[in-house]
Amino acid sequence: MGLKIAVIGGASSYTPELFAGLLQPVSRLAVDEVALLDLDPARLDLVAGVSRRLVESAGRGLRIRTTLAPDEALEGADFVILQIRVGGSLARIRDETLPMRFGMVGNETTGPGGFMCALRTVPVALAYAQALERLAPRACLLNLTNPAGIVTEALLNHSSLRTIGFCNIPINLVTGLAEALDVSIDRVRIEYFGLNHLGWVPRAYLDGQEVLRRLLAEARNREATLYRRGLVDALVDPDWLQILGMVPNWYCRYFYYPEQVLEEDRLSPQTDGQRDIAADEQLRAIYQRTGYDQQAREILAAKGGAQYYEPVLQVIEAIVHDTGALVVADVRNGEALPELPPGSCVEVPARFRRESTEPVPVGPMPITVRGLVQAVKAYEELAIEAALTGDPGIAIAALVAHPLCGSYAKAKAFLDCAFEDEQALLPVFAARCAGAGPKAAI
């Protein structure tokens, strides 16, 4: 009997990429059914139609079911992919624009904007987890929902489900290195450590031989391979790259160059969320006209979500076939990063087996990044507590702890405005103010 995969947020414009991956000739996954769950029936029908065309053109008997009912989607699932955005693109735009009014960078995954995204999302993610515990308690929950590290840690520590989180940045770095070295991706491996959207590559290997030292030594200006291939963001000064001795992932730009990022964003005619809305309009037209084609793939890649499902499918295959494959993912720390609590969610390579997730010990973090990672992890722990309790004081403490805020005055002023804007999407805070206990509805 084949697998059942459920996708919460199945109307995402990225969902056809999941089917493209499942239908690859190299795939060893026998999937009978994919259930797509969403709150938007029109978008769900469109995405399901595109996906069915992919399945039919591949001559596969894979069933695609669409539903607005969580119980129908989740019951009997073996794997559940969580890919939701609570409040939609308009909430994302607020996350990007409101912090700028207070002199802080705006983003839906980090800083004050990422914090509001976490407050909206954690209770809803946990409500889905509670439903899954009831309907398919042995299912594996695969989280793609931002802010991925916070949401995954909340699920790991407040549900009984086996939960794994994912980011496409590590796999994109591997792909970029393979292209830079003009070799196939299976010959390249990276070491990686950190948190979601705050990670570094200290070493990289080609056929088992370390190659990153040479590439870093050559990166004395922005004409070097690491810059030209987009493996290092253009904002990163070559001198700072040499001091680090590691490749920082793209999101590190927010922490190393917040003033420059803020100025860029203020001068930009659109936020990422606004560009995302425009891209989705283009994709809707393409899906209606021709389906999931090369133009659609290019638009999805430009949105920043390319290859998201590749590590997800690698992990599913590793669990189903008990291979112990090594994949960079968001997992419980254990002893991987000894300077962080064992129950923390970290982004490191892990071995995946049928019954276990085994993070690879990384060892002590370099002192150049240790304090930054610890500060952001303290913020993440406080953010989860705030999301679960609806305590405004904990919310302020979380933002003050974040390196991209760091000021009580800014945190208080920002949250006063943000809570007014987001009150309809923050039932936990509303319930506390009304004297009731926290409650989240699917």
Active site residues: 251
Output the CA–CA distances (angstroms, integers) from residue 104 to 261, 285, 298, 390, in the order listed.
10, 36, 31, 23
* DSSP state at residue 96: H
Burial of residue 59 (CB within 10 Å: 0-12, 13-18, 19+) is exposed
Which helix (H) or strand (E) element contains residue 36? strand 31-37
What tokens were used for 329?
Answer: 């993912």
What tokens were used for 184?
Answer: 């196939």
CA 71 to chain CA mean position, Å: 25
Q: Do β-strands 188-190 and 79-82 pair in parallel, antiparallel, or remain unpaired?
A: unpaired
Q: Do β-strands 3-8 and 79-82 pair in parallel, antiparallel, or remain unpaired?
A: parallel
CB 143 within 8 A of CB 166: yes
CA 105 to chain CA mean position, Å: 19
What tokens were used for 173?
Answer: 């770095």
What tokens were used for 67?
Answer: 């539903």
As a 3-state breakdown, the chain gives helix, strand, coil percent values, each rounded to 5, of: 50, 15, 35
Q: Which is nearest to 387 in space by CA: 378, 376, 398, 377?
A: 398
The one-letter code for the residue type at 402 is H
Point out which residues pair with 10 in neighbouring strands: none
* DSSP state at residue 360: P
Q: Is 61 helix (H, G, I), strand (E, B) or coil?
A: coil
Contacts of 169 (CB under 8 A, 6+ apart): 197, 199, 249, 250, 251
Burial of residue 420 (CB within 10 Å: 0-12, 13-18, 19+) is exposed
Question: Strand order of the sheet with strand 140-143?
Answer: 63-67, 31-37, 3-8, 79-82, 140-143, 162-165, 325-332, 345-352, 357-359
CB 73 within 8 A of CB 161: no
CA angle 302–260–272, rounded 5-degree value: 30
